[in-house]
Structure formats: structure tokens, C-alpha cells
Amino acid sequence: MPRLRALALLIVAIVARGGHADVQRQAITCATAQSPAPVADPDLYCIDLLPPLAIDGVGGVARLVPPASPFGIAVSPAGEMLYDVLFDLRDLPAPSALGAYTTFVAWAAAPQMNPLIKLGEVRNGTTRLGRVNLDRFLLIVTAEPTVGAASLANPAALTGRIVLRGTSAAMRMQPHDLAFFLAGLLEQKAATGGGGDHAAHQQAPAHGDASWTQPPMHPDVAMPPAFMSLRPDVAPYRPAPEDAPLARPRELLRLRDGAAIDLVAAPVRRVLFGRTVTMLGFNGQYPGPLIEVAEASTIVVRFTNRTGFETAVHWHGLRLDNRFDGAPHVTQDPVPPGGSFTYRVFFPDAGIYWYHPHHREDVLQDLGLYGNLLVRSREPDYFAPANREEVLMLDDLLVAESGPVEHGREAPTHALMGRFGNVLLVNGEPRWEAAVPRGEVVRLFLTNVSSTRVFNLSFQGAARMKVVASDLSRYEREAWVENVTIAPAERYVVDVRFDAPGDVRLVNRVRAIDHIMARFFDETHELGVVRVSDRPAAPDHGPSFARLRPNASVVADIAKFRRHFDRPVDRELLVTLRAGDLPFPLRPLMSYESVYRNPVEWTGTMPEMDWVATGRQVRWTLQDRATGRENMEIDWRFKVGDVVKLRLVNDRGALHAMQHPIHIHGQRFLVLSVNGVPNENLVWKDTVLLPTGFVADVLVDVTNPGKWMLHCHVAEHIETGMRMVFEVNK
């Protein structure tokens, strides 16, 4: 025995030594690279750079770093992810040692080497260069004779010798032929009675009800045939009665401090796409009434539930009295169908907020139960002057030829990605229109009320845009933007000046992925149009618009928290998924797809596959890293006055890793950093978008006592577990 043990130790020692020597020789890899700050998941956002065989000993890594953006995520108007590249290179020889070269230059290139982007000069150590906007790309470092003006003017002049190269994660995507055909074969097997038990169960009409409406296929993406016969394992729900009153567009309710209103959630009829459909509305309107109040006022809302589900109304973003927060089973009993509850709603902060049901949002909110709260500041020049205001609620709806696709009665459908609609709505309508004089400054109050879709909005035409505020406050300073990236539940206030006559289109533009064919493609939806006339705007706010305002009071407010910015993290949450018994062949196909995940899943390209996974099979989780506890088992306690540094980590290893908009009730927070990159223009938030594999540090200003929820705002994710409660004591 002792001899065996000695032998084992000897082997371990040899292996360890060998390993050590290897590490020294290979210099640095994404797996071994250390970073003092948190970094995004290396599998998606770090690229190993390796030398060709003829060059030995050189090594490096390139981290993809998000450039600063007021939206926390940097995206081009076309929906391309934008990255800076942080090179960390080791053991580069002198360029002249490789030939007649004087320098090293880094390049990013599409797989066909066109386009080719010259990033700039690199040397040993770290160099941050930018900017890459390619879906998938090669990184190349060459030894070059010169980096003079001539070669900069002609970026295609990659003439030197390749010293290092690597490939981005999306290069790993390959067409799915094997799985695709396998799925087709299985469908035939099931049809001839040879299917397994599970497949047979899934293909039986759910609950004897064959009336599910099949979601329409994506027009540009093929679907494996096996999916066409799958059904969700819950019953379809559609609102009744079909003779509900016809809904009317929302009304503006300007309410004084102390005013009382009734708010009734009930079925309504809508005419959409030439078809009459039954949906839901607050007070018979779409969206719900736009409630305008002054900062620091209180209103009384008598809510009545005439839907078929129990529910409650949540006042999103308001730091109000805990018992009126509208979180069923946390701050109140759910309001049963036919029941009522009276809320006292307090508005401590100016800005744009919204209200929506906080139970089965996947059904109730999706069918039209949402409305905005516009809280006016008492400061007269809180915002710069504008000629007009537009309050826009952005949504999507999943509609088939025969009408809207039903929702799951017992549990949500679309439990993985969330329900992506195939039509986009602004204030409940498929098209938004405005007519403005030339040079008008229009202030847009934007709220994303969709279940899961992140919008990437821009104007196509002569329009300039700046972002001035978000969830709970103005920014430290206004910023020019070309597009607005807005996740579910987030709000942004943007000022737009329409400079020249003509039509300016409001579009949502994103990069969609066809995982079956392993390709990216453009998806553009037109949401509306602004018709700009030749008549000049009066008054002309051009001069004030041209100036980016700093907001001294916001800077001063945030300055009080700066001493907490660099302190250690207090709590850490891992955002992940436990996928249970998914209908075959979902799991193998998803594992196959997971070779690459976009930071943001912008759109639903596999409607059948998304549809059939239900809340009975999927459990999304928030996991407390310190205790391992998950979701409602987490027991965090804070005191009023605490400042809590919270780290949110999006688990790239989850079977369906994707982005999550994380929302905290009743408090406000700052997004301090994303992937370790400090945020240089802060704003108070209640919702932060956490892209796939990203790490965000947020600082929570704990001011409001009570039991508060923290959850993902993808409607199907909160309904399938992704929520927790923390308690704040006085």
C-alpha cells in the first residue's frame, strides 16, 4: 500500500509539473486569465488568440467589452451588438524578428474577410481598441511594415504576417441538419403509432381540447417537422364573453392630490387587423387610462377585478406604502374574480411609471391590462422645453390567421423564451402616427410593456435624438443617441427633433438568429411614422435642444452614494434555469443551439418550439450564491438606510441562457458597472437588463420598509419561479 501511495504521489507530481510548464509556455488563455473586476462569461465574450505553427510561444486573449451606453447595453441602430476589444498579449517578439516589420496591428473580420476592420496597433500587455459590430468574426494580429496613413486609409491592406488569430463564439454555430432530420423521422414514427409514451402524451389533444391555435411560423425560418404536431400540456384560455363592449383609446386622467378613481379590469372587444377579438382592458380602454399627477401626491384607486383570474395591481417603479404594492401573497391577498381592493398610490418621484396586474402577467398584461402614470415634477424646468409630448407603450402580440394564439390556463406557455408576439403595437395599435411642424422637439415617454421582447428603436429620416431620463430620474447628463434599447418594464424619456420635412419612420431593428441554418438576419418592424411638414415649429426650441444638459441635482444626489461604489459586494444572485421534463425533441435541440447564445434574444424565430414548453416543465431561478437558496426560499433582511451592493450574474451555462430584465420593487438602484466596466452616466433605475452571460453590479438605496419583490420581468419567467422577497425593517 505505501508503495502504491508513493507511486500515485509521484504521478501527481509529474502531472502537476507538466501542467505548470504548459501554463508557462502557453502564456494565457480565456480559461486561466485573471481579472480584478468581474467579467462576462468567457465562453461567449473572451477569445483565445493562438499563433500559427511557425511562430512559437506567443499568446493572448481578447475580451469583448461593452462600450459605455445609457442603456447598459451597446447596440447599433441595426441591432448589432457593439464591442470594444481588450487585448491582453504576452511574449510578442520584436516585430523585426519576424521579418521587415515595425509594428503589430489588430483586425476584426467577417468570416469571408469582408468587411475587414482595422482596430489599431497592439503590443505586449493590455490594449483596448474598438469597435466591432459584426455578428461573428475573426480576430487577427499581424506584423506590419508600417501603420502609416496609407494603410489606415485603406483598411483592407492586411499585408503583413499573421502572428495571432482567434474566432468569436458565434463562429461555432453550424447548421442543424442532423437534429432537423432526426426530428422529422421521429414525427413519422409517432404518426404510425411507434412514438414513445412521452411523445404520445404530448401529441394528444391537451385536455381533450383541440382548439389551440397554432402559432404562425416565422416567415424566414424553417421549423423541424416534429414540432408541428406538439401541443402545450395545459388547456387553452381565451377571454369571454365575445360580446364584451368595444374598447376605446385611452383617456388622460389629470388627478389632484387626494383624488379617487375606479379602475376596472374586464374583457373588451378590439378590432385588430380587420378582425374582432376579445381582449382585456382597464376601464374599457386601450391602454389603460393615462394617469397624470404631481410629484409627492397621493391618489385613491378602487380596483375591481372582472377577469377570470385572481390578480392585483402593481404600481411599477413607485416607492409607495408596502401594503399597496399589489404583490399577491406578499403584500395583499389576491383579488378574486368579482372582488375589489382599494389602493392608496403615492408618487414620490417625478417621471414615467406604469401599472399592470401582478399575477399571471403572461395572460392579463399580454391581453391589454397596462397603463402609464405620468408624474410631473414640481420644478418648472425639470426637463428642457419641448413642443409636444407623446406617451408610448410598446408591446407585441402573437396573432395567427384565425386570431390571437391562446394563453395557458393552468400555467404559461412559452415558458423558456417568453411569448414573443409577431405583431408590434404602440399604445395597443399596430401603427402610430404623428404630424409635426419642421424643427419640433417631441418628448417621448417610452414604456416597454411586452412579455419578453427587448426593443431597439430608431427613427429613419431627419431626426436627432437624446436620452434625458429613465425609470426613476433624469441622467447625470443628457446624451445623444442613435437608437433606444428598452427591455420589458424599463422606461426611457427621449427628446427628438425633426429637422426636415418628410416622413420619418419609427422602426424596431434587430438581428435575428435562425439556429437551424446557423445564420443571422435583419428583422425590421415599422411601428409608425412622423409626418414632418414644411411649416416651421413655433416656438423654436432648437438652441436648447442642441445643448446636452447636465443635471446638477441628480449628480449631487448620487454623490452621496459614491463612497459605496468600490466596496465589496454584499449579495450575489445567479440567474439560471432548471428545465424539467421538456417535450422531445426540445432538449437535444436546445443543447445543440446553446453552442452560441446572443447577448439578447431579440425575437422569436422558432414559434412552435417556444410555445410548447410550459410552466409545468420549466423553473427559472434566482439563486443566492452565499446560501444556495432559490427564489421564494431566499430570506434577505435589510434596514431602512442600508445601501446594498448587489451582484447579478446571468448563467451562460443554463440550458436556455438568455437575457433577463431584473426588477426590484419599492426601492431605487444605480447600475454601477456592467462586466466590470464602470457606468459613467448614472440614473436611478428599478429595472436592469442583464444580457446572457453578463455580470452587473447594482447599488440599492434601501429607503422603504416592508416586504418587497425582486424578480425577472419576463412575464413567463416570474410565473415560473423567478422571483424572491426581501424584507426591509425600520
Which residue, 481 or 689, is less far from Cu ion as judged by CB? 689
318 forms part of the interface with Cu ion (CB under 5 A): no
What is the nearest approach in angstroms of Cu ion to the Cβ of residue 620? 6
- The CA distance from 159 to 78, in Å, is 31
Q: Does 663 bind Cu ion (CB under 5 A)?
A: no
Nearest-CA neighbor of 351 among 315, 317, 385? Answer: 317
Q: Angle CA(594)–CA(600)–CA(604) in degrees, nearest 5? A: 75
CA-closest candidate to residue 446, choices 464, 462, 463, 469: 469
DSSP annotation of 434 reads E
- Choice between 444 and 712, CB closer to Cu ion: 712
Span of 285-293, 456-464, 667-675, 709-717 interacting with Cu ion by CB under 5 A: 709-717
CB of 628 to Cu ion, least distance (A): 20
CB of 618 to Cu ion, least distance (A): 11
CB 399, min distance to Cu ion, A: 23
* Interface characters, 489-528, with Cu ion (x: CB under 5 A): ----------------------------------------
218 binds Cu ion (CB under 5 A): no
Contact indicator for 297, 256 with CB cutoff of 8 Å: yes
Contact 370, 393 (CB under 8 A): yes
CA separation (Å) from 539 to 444, 450, 503? Answer: 18, 36, 21
Instruction: Give the nearer residue to Cu ion in terms of CB position, either 376 or 578.
Output: 578
Give which of 571, 602, 599 is closest to 664, Cα–Cα.
571
Residue with Cβ nearer Cu ion (40 or 618): 618
Which window, 60-68, 259-267, 623-631, 708-716, contacts Cu ion (CB under 5 A)?
708-716
Is residue 217 packed enough to be buried (19+ CB in 10 Å), middle (13-18) or exposed (0-12)? Answer: middle
CB of residue 707 to Cu ion, shortest distance in Å: 21
In terms of residues, how long is the chain?
730
CB of 664 to Cu ion, least distance (A): 14
Considering only the stretches 53-61, 369-377, 399-407, 656-664, report the one whose residues sit in contact with Cu ion under the rule CB under 5 A. Answer: 656-664
Nearer to Cu ion, 477 or 665 (CB): 665
Residue 563 C-alpha cell reads as: 463612497
What does the alpha-carbon distance between residue 62 and residue 503 come to, in Å, rounded to a whole number? 43
CB of 723 to Cu ion, least distance (A): 10
Instruction: Give the span between the Cα atoms of 277 and 284, in whole angstroms.
Output: 14
Please check whether residue 336 is in contact with residue 310, taking contact to mean a CB–CB distance below 8 angstroms: yes
- Residues 91 and 57 sit within 8 Å (Cβ to Cβ): yes
By CB under 5 A, the residues from 248 to 287 that bind Cu ion are: none
419 binds Cu ion (CB under 5 A): no
The residues facing 392 across adjacent strands are 446
CB of 659 to Cu ion, least distance (A): 7
Point out which span in 119-127, 187-195, 517-525, 660-668 binds Cu ion (CB under 5 A): 660-668
Shortest separation between residue 518's beta carbon and Cu ion, angstroms: 25
Q: Decide whether 294 or 632 has the Cβ nearer to Cu ion.
A: 632
Q: Which is nearer to Cu ion, 190 or 622 (CB)?
A: 622
Helix H or strand E segment including 282: strand 275-282
Count of residues that interact with Cu ion, criterion CB under 5 A: 4
314 binds Cu ion (CB under 5 A): no
Strands 138-144, 285-286: pairing kind: unpaired
CB of 321 to Cu ion, least distance (A): 28
Q: How far is the CB of 711 from Cu ion (least distance, A)?
A: 8
- Which residue type occupies 157? A
Choose the stretch contacting Cu ion; rule: CB under 5 A; options: 26-34, 124-132, 505-513, 707-715. 707-715
Least separation in angstroms between residue 503's CB and Cu ion is 37
How are the residues of the chain apportioned to helix, strand and coil, as percentages rounded to the nearest 5? Answer: 15, 40, 45
Give 290 or 688: the residue with its C-beta nearer to Cu ion: 688
Taking the complex as a whole, the smallest distance from the CB of residue 287 to Cu ion amounts, in Å, to: 23
Q: Give the one residue of 238, 656, 660, 665 binding Cu ion; rule: CB under 5 A.
A: 660
CB of 657 to Cu ion, least distance (A): 11
- b/e 176-208 (16+ beta carbons within 10 angstroms → b): beebbebbeebbeebeeeebeeebeebbeebee
Based on CB atoms, which residue is closest to Cu ion, 265 or 714? 714
Closest approach, Cβ 418 to Cu ion, in A, equals: 7
Q: Select 105 or 712, whichever has its Cβ closest to Cu ion.
A: 712
Which stretch in 306-314, 465-473, 540-548, 717-725 sits in contact with Cu ion by CB under 5 A?
717-725
- Which range in 291-299, 362-370, 437-445, 652-660 contacts Cu ion by CB under 5 A? 652-660
Per rule CB under 5 A, is residue 714 in the interface with Cu ion? yes
Of 282-290, 388-396, 676-684, 706-714, which part binds Cu ion (CB under 5 A)?
Answer: 706-714
Q: Which stretch binds Cu ion (CB under 5 A): 95-103, 327-335, 635-643, 715-723?
A: 715-723
546 closest CA partner among 439, 462, 446: 439
Residue 717 within binding range of Cu ion, rule CB under 5 A: yes
CA distances to 53, 148, 153, 387 from 158, rounded to whole Å, are 20, 13, 12, 51
Could you say whether residue 139 binds Cu ion (CB under 5 A)? Answer: no
Phi, psi of 474 (to 5 degrees): -80, 165
Minimum CB distance to Cu ion smaller for 176 or for 660 = 660
712 part of the interface to Cu ion, by CB under 5 A: yes
* Beta carbon nearer to Cu ion, 483 or 576: 576
Query: Which residues, in sequence order, are CB contacts of 138 under 8 Å at separation 6+?
Result: 108, 109, 110, 111, 113, 165, 166, 167, 168, 171
Q: DSSP label at 506? A: E
How many CA atoms lie within 13 Å of 192's alpha carbon, on the beta-carbon side? 6
User: Which residues bind to Cu ion, rule: CB under 5 A?
Assistant: 660, 712, 714, 717
